[in-house]
Chains A and B, each alone.
Chain A
Amino acid sequence: GQQVMQIPQYQHVQEGEDFTTYCNSSTTLSNIQWYKQRPGGHPVFLIQLVKSGEVKKQKRLTFQFGEAKKNSSLHITATQTTDVGTYFCAGQNFGNEKLTFGTGTRLTIIP
């Protein structure tokens, strides 16, 4: 079955440093979605990428979808304490209702 791997599992950064998490799928995806889960909370949708090579930005967050539509990344510039949480990618195959979630990257910020 489809597998979505995400690295690193944990990342500790000083406030103001950058952060990147990477996501790799075993199969070509129709789209990839990114979610953020605050400690004790539920996953919240951030963005969806659909096109090969697509890059989208949300303020300090930059999302990329690989040319082969099998990998993706999320980069946060100049982290803030509000960025704390676990970031999940979730891949969807063509014509498939299901999302396959990565294992997540837990970001902690050292003030």
Chain B
Amino acid sequence: NAGVTQTPKFQVLKTGQSMTLQCAQDMNHNSMYWYRQDPGMGLRLIYYSASEGTTDKGEVPNGYNVSRLNKREFSLRLESAAPSQTSVYFCASSGGTGWPQHFGDGTRLSIL
């Protein structure tokens, strides 16, 4: 069982470039989440999806878009990358409200 799989693990972009971070889970979870983690700031929610076909903004959605492609996959897109988006990005999934979240290994993204 792979759990939550994120690709890529590392990425370096130039300012203004676009890219999509991929996330897939094999636990048949309804809910999926994207977080960013910056030093000293914990985990901040970017977007989440409570079920297939629905997405909602989290705490820091500006500059990002998401797609819940199906129950397994939830992607995060940066349309025009900015240095302020340099961070570690984590995808997570859970069975729903009140259930624990399972995290992927993260994507370390640097924007120059």
Contacts and interface: CB of A to CB of B under 8 A. Distances in A.
The B interface, classified by DSSP as helix, strand, loop or mixed, is: loop
Contact of A98 (B42, B48, B100, B104): B48
Interface in A23-40: 30-31, 33, 35
Interface string A42-72: 1111001010000000000000000000000
A88 interface: yes
B103 A101 contact: no
B106 A42 contact: yes
Q: Which of A43, A88, A96, A102 has the most CB of B within 10 A?
A: A43
Interface of B: 31, 35, 40-45, 48, 50, 56, 58-59, 90, 92, 96-98, 100-106
Interface of A: 1, 6, 9, 30-31, 33, 35, 41-45, 48, 50, 88, 90, 92, 95-104
